[in-house]
């Protein structure tokens, strides 16, 4: 990886949008920064999702999530709203 492709963990963005597909044992998350092309999908276990969302929220002025409530209902929405994510 060269200097032009390295990720900067302190880089701030205007917006970060997360598209989440929720399953019983794992989540797949697509991430878009500032309206750019979405980054590769990330797979994570249920416990990792809130930490991931919180980290993304710290990297942007505004954070958004979109998921189909399904079996999880609106539980995730409440947790994300408490983090300041719309």
Residue 18 near residue 65, CB atoms below 8 Å: yes
35-78 pLDDT tens trace:
999 999 999 998 899 999 999 999 999 999 998 877 777 888 88
Three-class SS state of 2? coil
- In the chain, the largest separation of any two C-alpha atoms, in whole Å, equals 43
Tell me whether residue 21 is exposed, middle or buried, using C-beta atoms within 10 angstroms of its C-beta: 0 to 12, 13 to 18, 19 or more. middle
Whole-angstrom distance, CA of residue 50 vs CA of residue 27: 11
24-38 pLDDT tens trace:
788 999 999 999 999
Q: What does the domain layout of the chain look like in residue ranges?
A: 13-82
Question: Among 1.10.10, 3.40.720, 3.30.420, 3.40.50, what is the CATH number of 13-82?
Answer: 3.30.420
pLDDT at 2: 38
The model carries a pTM of 0.80
């Amino acid at each position: 990886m060269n200097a032009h492709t390295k990720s900067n963990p302190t880089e701030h963005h205007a917006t970060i949008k997360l598209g989440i597909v929720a399953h019983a044992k794992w989540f797949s998350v697509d991430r878009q920064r500032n309206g750019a092309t979405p980054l590769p999908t990330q797979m994570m276990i249920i416990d990792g999702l809130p930490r991931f969302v919180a980290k993304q929220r710290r990297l942007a002025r505004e954070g958004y999530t979109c998921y189909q409530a399904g079996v999880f209902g609106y539980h995730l929405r409440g947790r994300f709203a408490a983090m300041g994510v719309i």
